[in-house]
Chain A
Amino acid sequence: MSRVSVVIPVKDGERWLPELLAALAREAPDEVLAIDSGSRDGSVELLRAAPGVTLLEIPPAEFGHGRTRNLGAERASGEIVAFLTQDATPLPGWLAALRAGFALDERVGAVFGPHLPRLDTSPMVARELERHFAGFAGPGGGPSLHGAGDEPFLSNVNAAYRRDCWEQLRFRDVPYSEDQAFGRDLLAAGWLKAYVPQMAVLHAHDYGPLEFMRRYFDEYRGLRATAGHVEAFRPLGALRTVRAETAADLRWMRERGMPAGARARWAARATVHHGGRRVFSALGSRAERLPAPVRGRLSLEGRGDGGGSSASVPPATPMTPRRTEDPYGAATRVMRDGPAPLLPPAPGLAERERLRIALVLPPWRRGSGGHNTLMQLLSRLERRGHVCTVWLHDPHGELRAARPAVLRRQLDEWFAPFAGPVYVGFEDWHGADVAVATGWQTVHPLLLLDQTHARAYLVNDHEPEFFGTSTERALAQDTYRHGIHCVAASPWLRDLMTDRYGAPADAFQLGVDHAVYAPRADVARRADTVVYYARHSTDRRAVPIGLMALGELHRRRPQTRVVLFGTDRPPPTTFPYDHLGVLSPPQLAALYAEATVGLCLSLTNFSLMPKEMLACGLPCVELAGVSAESIFGSDGGPLALAPLDPVALADALERLLDDRAEWERRSRTGIEFVASHTWDVATDEVEAGLRHALAQP
């Protein structure tokens, strides 16, 4: 059986010590150690005379609730060290219950028991003690075990510790609430604590109303210091609480048969008690804001030190982890451990007819242009016999409400036919011939995937440019530096990958769905309508410049009809316009068929939309000097290019509105130019890129 030592810190404890020592003599622990810190009453003499009690005397200045208990545990010899306060009297069976608590589980690091009121304890305190400890009891009012996530409450009025646990954690050297801090540390370290109702002591601090308030001040000051707890205070809420608590006290007294006269007397006292508690607990947890003399007056212990002067570190709030993984945790793992090794090259794999292609996608929304491109390609790769799968990487949980079957149907219905499966996350990862990243967020997780022969990166745009100076920008840049074979959505983007980042790269041309986007004989073209893709939520679309250009055009030609689309929220402008919101592909095709000139700007990679406008015979104005020249030639071919300047853009729009011959020429050459830009051709180019990735040494 484990040896049990009892440690009792003492200071002027003459009032209850005889009762406590008599109870301990009855319970007969293996050792009793009392630590006196400067008693001026007869405590020292009582302890010296008590048989079987070892007395240790320390100067008052050396006392600390945590420090002194650590000293006691160091000096004691038991495998179990119990702490009692000088005014706590164990009831019969206390020691046996204590031992029974540790026998519940070998992981139990601490056992505590209830504090029962003495006969003269006020009803408010008695009820509070009863309610407080009843909450810890197990089924049927028996013992209970508490682990991680449970209430960390512990009270050194009546608690015992397994020496191994104490040695691992020790009490913090804090002014108050060292037991509460130990409770939290104990659960965090994986130990259990046990509550044993039979391990009871008589203990209640019954003070006068003002003393009670000052004690609450100290208690909540301690809670702030150890746990960062700040007690909320709302006057109306406090009034409601006081009323409810007083009513509960009166009910409790009635249930115990207290006479009406006594109940009435206690009612007034209870109101003061609960009201004072609300105010002083709020003040205590904000003690550092009060001047030192005020703190000293409010504290029952007369402590004027703030533990929070302007020169000291304020109390910290302990925070528990709320995530199992950082959103960009894969980047950390790649930087720490490097990419997962690739499978050894298999001869002839790059030329094999059917490949296993795993596409890793970031979350999507209906109408997402990038996902449309990716799924148009994947759909066609699948039709060519490749075994295609989609893997959703969604670290921010944007699509967490949707399950795989629903996600699969979304891809199929919103973007392009897809017959393969969709996986969420990589728990079921089972390898591929080539794993394909499709956005900067997907690259680091992709680098951690094993059982794959090659990695490729379908680069839709130069994504670092989507961000200001930021973590995202830096991580996006990093994705091009891992040697993954890039298949970029324009020659401009391919050259950027190779020239700036040294990445191996191929290019593909975005395709046009000519079944949807084609000249329409059944739609009459208007003579003076400009349509503008004004998706102002996407910064790279340079919408403010576009709106300035249209404002300038309106100043010159107030009769010109302006139509904005591509966003649900109509942007504020200086000119009148018609707003169409987000349109489906057939609706877009109809719009392009009836409009006179299109305006679509991109500050980064050339997008699909101008090609779709051209396919419908709609001449289009785009920005010069960015990426369009890599597709249409230095003069823009069918596209009217203009610098990033509202006046120049307005000039280009006006020329197309005024010059019929120029309009005819650009409309015709646009249709001719994009005729060869199909998704089948794009798929040829992407497939070749994937095979290059497989052939890469």
Chain B
Amino acid sequence: MTETPAVTCHTLSKSFGPVRAVESVSFRLERGEFLALLGPSGCGKTTVLRMIAGLEQPDSGTISLAGQVVSDGHAFVPPDRRRVGLVFQDYALFPHMTVAENIAYGMARGRDRHGRMAELLALVGLDEYGGRYPRELSGGQQQRVALARALAPQPDVILLDEPFSNLDVALRTQVREDVQRIIHMAGVSAVLVTHDQDEAMSMADCIAVMFAGRIHQIGTPRALYEAPVSRQVAQFLGDANLIPGTARERVAETALGDLPLRTPADGAVEVLVRPEALILGDIPDGALATVQRTIYHGAHQIVWLVLADGTPLKAFAPADVEWQAGQQVRVTVRGAALAYPA
């Protein structure tokens, strides 16, 4: 028997005046899965989240939560009856309530509220802070209160709207791990909205990449990185060298030499070469390139090169060899590459 998905969005669209914020977005979120909606700011990802929460009404399309239609042409279930938790970018903690009052706000009346409160405070590591007011907490602590508050009514799905953007970079990695652990322990499904590819890749089981209101690709972080469907996706996830060339069947003729292709193509193309796929050294059949500059990173180094025809390249190379600016070096590509029609 197949379980019903936690969230199903089918051809969602939404316009604000003349601006088409979301266009025909569809995806499924399985139970217990962690999905990231990744895209540049203004791509419509937050609008998708707000439509799932019931804070915006889609112009068309269907949203189902745990198999129940909550929004389509006829029905619209208000946010308070969707069993969806939302963690806001600015946390939106009620300033006139203590931490405990904030967390208790959404809990059902009656049942073991004290026990549940203690459990939640412990889960987010704020056992001692129940009586404090939000303004007395650090950003990271406020973040965890917001998460505990969203989890308190035991939602089926938790939605996170750029939850780490207000935190110091130094704090972010730690808080990310905490949040991921807490959500995993709570056993809920989650949708994370972010513009940070590191965040999406490190937290999510599955990433949906959005540009200009549309989802361009959905897949695991590995699938997206290794087989992006377009140049745009390739460039948004990680670093990408896009090298112009001419393809015939499974080979592309480029300034880097003849590169084997994973899928056959014909005519003018751009070939995706990730920086870590470039091999630098004294390789007999490699293309000749000139080192422009290097940045040493300890474990590896970044080397900027330029090919004889002027094509720039970025390479991640082992740190053991020290390259000098102006030095000539030979370059080859490891493995088969992807080509996009130019």
**Chains A and B come from one and the same complex:** no
